[in-house]
Structure 1
């Protein structure tokens, strides 16, 4: 490739393209699959998971509040803390602390935690509801909702799952 008005090849562009392709390849290799596993028909959930899900579902419509962990207002990790507290399971307060300390799950089951972020830090957490849905507190000015997980936004930011409930 030559620059207009010049007979010299543009080696910088070729290197830049090669670098960008390499980074895209590495980014693809670093991502994790968001794998879920719903109970089989007739297979029940533990009482703890049932309590976690009932509390999270009861929080649907609760307004977002940064640092909130009560029915008056919740942030993402506060929703997790509230739901797990209802089942008698203590969890760390922030999404990143939850991600770094709770036991990893290869496949999320209903009641498990799903973590999202930028590869250096978990910046968001939700509770897997089952049937490809997650309950989470999305952010300022919004309310706790249930959303589908098959959206590219979630797939691209998925870091992993944790299973602190029996």
Structure 2
């Protein structure tokens, strides 16, 4: 899924204006950890998932769509999210959640009613199976990474990893559905066999009489 950043393996060679925007969004976003979740919320009094993202970038003068579905459909796709990018999740095939990628497989997000803004690992729990892909709120044309060997490499988004993630998620869902059907059939057959034995047993008792 998302490739975790490895501390010490790479560092940013330079920050463009957009990279600085993402960096600022990250710093400010962490200040809202603990803020209550509020459906439709777009202020520090309370956020929903897309409201938090919209607020953070709007404060930096970046105009992005308000809800997660539009953010996912209209923003630039990336197969390898960088800190400050957006990570999206789907439920029953529909985009319904977004978080701010922090790096290292972690995201900052407003989970759901009754919870507060927090940091979670998107490689654990329910998140891997629901991962839909990543998007850039701001483009960075000069996103260069200085690798451990000292050579500069330009970050490339081929889209192959994103497609692979989608295919893997669909395959996992199909396998889960097939398993559920097999279990249901097995349970039904077991119940029918039990009923058949009961009827057969009662038949022997009647004959004996």
Structure 1 match to 2:131: 158
Are 2:59 and 1:109 equivalent residues in the alignment? no
| TM-score, scaled to structure 2 | 0.60
Following superposition, the deviation at residue 41 of structure 1 comes to 2.7
Deviates more, 1:119-128 or 1:154-163: 119-128
RMSD (Å) for aligned C-alpha atoms: 1.8
Given candidates 104, 107, 127, the residue that maps to 2:100 is 127
Q: Which secondary structure does the structure 2 equivalent of 1:77 belong to?
A: helix
Structure 2 match to 1:52: 25
Listed as ranges, the gaps of 5+ residues in structure 2 are 141-209
Conservation of the 8 A alpha-carbon contact between 1:38 and 1:109:
no
| TM-score, scaled to structure 1 | 0.74
- Structure whose residues are more often helix by fraction: 2
Are 2:14 and 1:41 equivalent residues in the alignment? no
Are 2:65 and 1:95 equivalent residues in the alignment? no
Shift in CA distance, 96/137, structure 1 to aligned 2, threshold 3 Å: same
Q: Which secondary structure does the structure 2 equivalent of 1:41 belong to?
A: strand
Rg larger for: 2
